Amino acid sequence: MGRLGDWRQRRQHNRRRSLWRDALGRLLRNRAALLASVLLLLILLLVTAGPLLSPWDAEIPDWDKASMPPDLSSRHWFGTDAIGRDLFVRVLEGGRVSLLVALLATLVSLVIGVSYGAVAGYFGGRLDAMMMRLVDILYAMPFLFFVILLMVIFQRNILLIFIAIGAINWLDMARIVRGQTMSLRHRGFVQAAEAIGVQPGFIISRHIVPNLLGVVVVYATLTIPQIMLMESFLSFLGLGVQEPATSLGALVSDGAQEMQTAPWTLLFPASLLALTLFCFNFIGDGLRDALDPREHL
């Protein structure tokens, strides 16, 4: 029994080590990524539920209390801005807008990038060459300048703008997905599906795309901070979210103008922005290392 039992046990143990289980194990061992995930959850909780904790409203100014430093007794935990609005509530509002907009744009870029890349990679040949040449050409476009053009066209409707940003920002995703699809399409299960006459569209949506989940998750996590940066960048230039609505970029821009007299108006939104970006970058890095343990940048 002894030896054989050992061997059986070990074999069963080995069999249980699936790709995802391995990945999860590696992710849990990555303390930075774990910490970042917890922090990010806290941030998400705070921006959704946080404003309920404060008695103040994000949009009602109180002229008597303009530019007040943080003060616990009046429950202006982050102080007030130049026209007396509570900064705590505004920062959380801004964080929510920034996150929401980034998630939405990422979703759009995901849908376009995955379907484009999967189609190009699955069919290959001349179609693939053409589709990828188009991606090459689009890569050479000065991206931000087009975003600014879109800004002018959409009259600063923030949702439309970010759908548009997502619609431009799918090139990386398409390239990565294409590469993965090309290696998947020669695998047994895809060829089996082809052999029994399954339609290409069905193969792509049922067999290829689910197997792309890993890379897609990783690059989505890395796309979100990119788009958050872009949003704050545009808002900073005055081309993004318009008053009284706000976003982290708009708050940083306001804060930068008053940092000499009221540094807290810069400090709080800037910290939340940097912290959120930090979390997403660490999680994305951790996920990438976990799913594909080769060395990456």
Partner 1 sequence: MLRYALERLLTAIPTLLLLITLAFFLIRLAPGGPFDAERALSPEIEQNLNQLYHLDEPLPLQYFRYLGQILRLDFGPSFQYRDWTVNQLIAQGFPVSLTIGGLALLLGLLAGVLIGMLAALRQNHWLDYLLMSLAMAGLSIPAFVLAPILVLLFAVHFGWLPAGGWEWRLQYMLLPILTLAMPLVAYVARLTRASMIEVMRTGFIRTARAKGLPLHQIVLRHAWKPALLPVVSYLGPAAAAVITGSVVIEKIFTIPGLGTYFVQGALNRDYTLVLGVVIFYGMLIILFNLLVDLLYAWMDPQIHLDSREGY
Residues at the interface with partner 1 (CB under 8 A): 132-133, 136-138, 140-146, 148-153, 155, 175, 178-179, 225, 229, 232-233, 236-239, 249, 252-253, 255-256, 259-260, 263, 266, 270, 273-274, 277-278, 281-282, 285, 295-297
CB of 288 to partner 1, least distance (A): 11
CB of 108 to partner 1, least distance (A): 18
- The owner of tokens 């982050």 is 78
Length of the chain measured in residues: 297
CB of 153 to partner 1, least distance (A): 4
Q: Is 86 helix (H, G, I), strand (E, B) or coil?
A: strand
Distance CA 297, CA 285 (A): 9
The residue type at 239: L
Distance CA 110, CA 102 (A): 12
CB of 217 to partner 1, least distance (A): 20
Q: Pick between residue 23 and residue 132 the one whose CB is nearest to partner 1.
A: 132
Rg (alpha carbons) of the chain, rounded to whole number: 24
Q: Pick between residue 18 and residue 155 the one whose CB is nearest to partner 1.
A: 155
Q: Pick between residue 223 and residue 253 the one whose CB is nearest to partner 1.
A: 253
Q: Pick between residue 56 and residue 236 the one whose CB is nearest to partner 1.
A: 236
Q: Pick between residue 95 and residue 249 the one whose CB is nearest to partner 1.
A: 249
| b/e map 39-70, b = 16+ CB within 10 Å | bbeebeebbeebbeebebebeebeeebebbee
Is the backbone peptide bond immediately before 225 cis, with ω within 30 degrees of 0? no
CB of 272 to partner 1, least distance (A): 11
